[in-house]
Amino acid sequence: MTGTDQHPRSAPGTLRDLVGEPSDFFDDVWNTFPYQYQAEDAPGLLTPAELWDEFDCGLIVRPWVSLTYPHGLSAARRDAAFQTRVVVNNDLVGYPVPEEFRRAYEGGASIVVDRPELWSPRIAALVASLAAGFRGDVWSTLVLAPPHAATTELDAAPDGGHSFVLHLAGHCSWTAGGQAPGAFSADLAAGGVLYLPPGCERTARIGADGALMLVISVVEIMAGRLAEIMGALFLRGAGREIEDCHHEMTSSEKIAWVREALCRHLAEEDPQQALAIALRNR
């Protein structure tokens, strides 16, 4: 049991906890423009002290954790922050050196932890709930940023992805939508939630007390992936019917047969089956 399990407390567990009424969110905001919400329980997901405890326990290793500086990090300094441990007579690399991580953080480095849902039950419950509702790829990233940092880790989003930025501790000033008149801007403290649609330019500037943020990324199943699955289902099923007679057909007849069989297959295929397969194998 890790430190994040030992103190039960209230934390958001559904989309409703983040944005209020989901139908209003999807009707008015989703995929349209950035918007600010408030989730008072968001800090209950994880505290900075609990994250440092995880590093002290040695349960988070590279590549799930990294250090980033605004102007880059030398290989020597980066390597000094990680160590090799002997586990069951095997040398395992990539374990953070807690003292070096603290020194790097105090020197202006941000700490980025990928997929904290793998070890935090509260974050795992929220990510699983969102994944069931969005029916797509959903994952999270923690960013622990030092005071006054300009965090490039928060300026990007997955291609075609939506972002929910949950402020767990500290303050952060956001601008989104470019420099055009009417661009979105907000100062968020602990409990603040920022929704950012795909392709939305954004810039984050950390306040004087630093910040801990959980970025939840949502990427819906792409049409191309569904097409691949539906094509594979055709080849595995109706498409095999031509195997016994194709040698008797001309090329034109084969093309006509495939066209007709494929159209019939797509008309009869349950689209939910392809979606279920895509979600199961994402």
pLDDT of residue 75: 63
Residue 7, C-beta contacts closer than 8 angstroms, at least 6 positions apart: none
The letter for the amino acid at 64 is W
Element (H, E) at 240: none
Which CATH code is given to the segment(s) 15-220? 2.60.120.650
Helices (H), 8-161: 15-19, 22-28, 48-57, 75-80, 98-106, 121-134
Q: What is the pTM of this model?
A: 0.78
pLDDT of residue 127: 95
Kindly give the interhelix angle for 223-236 and 271-280, rounded to the nearest 10 degrees. Answer: 110
Instruction: Tell how far CA 16 is from the center of its chain.
Output: 18
User: Residue 120 and residue 127: Cα distance in Å, rounded?
Assistant: 11
pLDDT of residue 3: 45
Helix (H, G, I), strand (E, B) or coil at 38: strand
pLDDT of residue 237: 76
> pLDDT of 8-42, one tens digit each?
678 999 999 999 999 999 999 999 889 999 999 99
Contact status, residue 61 vs residue 96, Cβ threshold 8 Å: yes
Domain ranges of the chain: 15-220, 223-280
Q: What is the DSSP letter of 139?
A: E
Contact status, residue 16 vs residue 37, Cβ threshold 8 Å: no
- Which residue stretches of the chain have pLDDT < 50? 1-3
pLDDT of residue 130: 93
Scored b (16 or more CB within 10 A) or e, 51-86 reads bbbbbeeeebeeebbbbbbeeebeeebbeebbeeee
